[in-house]
């Protein structure tokens, strides 16, 4: 907003009090924030950080990767920085800058409309562009790190600006430095990605994509076709947060040793797996949870999705605490049945 760009100080009336966060988290959990401020420029963000140093702060992006289990007794800063720019272009590639508050899927569509390739497999992932690097979002054989160049951040303590390049972000499976060593220290304000304008590198190896394209009789897919296929697969398996509250995959897929995997296969010969290295194997948590009998289980207003057991859902007015208790029960059961520790992917607050 224009006026926010020219602020010299934050007026008290700009901060709202006792605000419900139900519509700001994709799980649709109804908790209150003691105070709330909608941030629409980096200048305002720096200002509010400086002026409210002494107060507990809580940063909210797209609200797509969190389970709120209690009221937030803090000043919630809702990061809604907007804008997409082309920074650099050659004949074959383009570097695009997206502000943190851009909705991720809208940004993917913006790129597809310009025929910019690289993130089509990441279509329909909920959340904002600025939170995508924190957990290195990934789907259907592509991760954000594959196209990532850098991100601009603000240091929460002293409000200085710092750019992190790809190496500095220390990306890994659903991991980055922002979830580890630097957790809670920086706010990502924008992200730069390098995309292709021609000779797009297509990622079709993920089984379901090929099947989906075959179903539509597409032999030479474009990036738009791939996006459409991913959207179709996701819509078929994953609940739309606008209809049923959820946060996508609730757990990470656990990585276990090849030895442990061999033992498990004795009892469960059909167990799926992805090779990580000579020593390690990734096992789909969704399969473990289904095998443990939780798929489609409903307890009042919450439960486990009936098409993808990795997704916990809120059918209406579930409490975050109830969903958390269900997650703990699932975790305990998986440990007991398979001797595997599964970790949550979603942040429990």
Enumerate binding residues for ligand EPU (CB under 6 A).
139-140, 237-238, 248-249, 252-253, 272, 284, 286-287, 290, 295, 308-310, 345
Nearer to ligand EPU, 235 or 339 (CB): 235
Say if CB 31 and CB 314 are below 8 A apart: no
Active site (annotated) includes residue 249: yes
Say if CB 95 and CB 66 are below 8 A apart: no
Per-residue burial over 133-149, b if 16 or more Cβ lie within 10 Å, else e, is: bbbbbbbbebbbbbbbb
Cα distances (Å, whole numbers) of residue 138 to 34, 123, 144, 173, 259: 34, 10, 6, 8, 27
- Nearest CA to 285 out of 236, 247, 324, 330 is that of 330
Alpha-carbon gap, residue 193 to 191, rounded angstroms: 7
- Helical ranges in the chain per DSSP H: 2-5, 42-51, 104-113, 166-169, 207-215, 223-237, 258-267, 285-291, 320-338
In angstroms, give the least distance from the CB of 178 to ligand EPU: 16
Nearer to ligand EPU, 127 or 320 (CB): 127
Active site (annotated) includes residue 336: no
Nearer to ligand EPU, 62 or 94 (CB): 62
Residue 270, C-beta contacts closer than 8 angstroms, at least 6 positions apart: none
Query: If you search the block for the tokens 């099947």, which residue do you land on?
Result: 211
Nearer to ligand EPU, 19 or 62 (CB): 62
The catalytic residue among 174, 190, 227, 234 is 174
Decide: helix, strand or coil at residue 90: coil
In angstroms, give the least distance from the CB of 243 to ligand EPU: 16
Residue 308 tokens, joined: 């993808």
Measured over the CA atoms of residue 251, residue 255, residue 260 and residue 264, the dihedral's sign is: positive
Cα distances (Å, whole numbers) of residue 185 to 153, 254, 334: 10, 27, 33
In angstroms, give the least distance from the CB of 270 to ligand EPU: 9
In angstroms, give the least distance from the CB of 148 to ligand EPU: 17
Decide: helix, strand or coil at residue 151: strand
Active site (annotated) includes residue 345: yes
Nearer to ligand EPU, 46 or 234 (CB): 234
Residue 279 tokens, joined: 């020593």
Residue 317, C-beta contacts closer than 8 angstroms, at least 6 positions apart: 30, 301
Positions marked active-site: 174, 249, 345
């Amino acid at each position: 907003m224009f006026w926010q760009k020219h602020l010299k100080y934050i007026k008290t009336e700009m901060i709202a009090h006792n605000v419900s966060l139900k519509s700001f988290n994709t799980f649709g959990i109804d908790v209150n924030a003691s105070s709330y401020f909608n941030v629409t420029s980096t200048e305002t963000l720096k200002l509010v950080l400086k002026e409210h140093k002494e107060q507990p702060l809580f940063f909210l992006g797209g609200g797509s990767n969190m389970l709120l289990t209690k009221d937030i007794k803090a000043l919630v800063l809702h990061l809604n920085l907007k804008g997409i720019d082309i920074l650099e272009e050659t004949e074959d590639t383009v570097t695009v800058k997206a502000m943190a508050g851009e909705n991720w899927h809208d940004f993917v569509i913006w790129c597809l409309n310009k025929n910019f390739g690289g993130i089509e497999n990441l279509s329909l992932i909920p959340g904002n562009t600025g939170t995508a690097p924190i957990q290195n979002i990934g789907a259907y054989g592509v991760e954000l790190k594959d196209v990532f160049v850098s991100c601009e951040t603000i240091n929460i303590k002293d409000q200085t600006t710092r750019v992190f390049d790809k190496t500095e972000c220390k990306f890994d499976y659903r991991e980055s430095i922002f979830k580890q060593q630097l957790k809670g220290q920086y706010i990502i304000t924008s992200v730069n990605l390098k995309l292709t304008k021609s000779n797009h590198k297509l990622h079709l190896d993920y089984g379901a994509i090929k099947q989906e394209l075959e179903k539509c009789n597409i032999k030479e897919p474009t990036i738009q076709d791939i996006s459409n296929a991913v959207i179709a697969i996701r819509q078929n398996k994953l609940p739309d947060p606008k209809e049923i509250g959820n946060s996508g995959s609730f757990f990470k897929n656990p990585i276990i040793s090849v030895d442990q995997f061999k033992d498990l296969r004795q009892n469960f010969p059909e167990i799926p797996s992805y090779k990580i290295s000579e020593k390690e194997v990734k096992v789909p948590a969704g399969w473990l949870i289904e095998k443990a009998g939780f798929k489609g289980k409903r307890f009042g207003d919450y439960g486990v999705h009936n098409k993808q057991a990795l997704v916990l859902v809120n059918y209406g007015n579930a409490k975050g605490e109830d969903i958390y208790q269900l997650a703990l029960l699932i975790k305990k059961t998986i440990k007991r049945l398979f001797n595997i520790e599964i970790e949550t992917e979603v942040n429990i607050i």
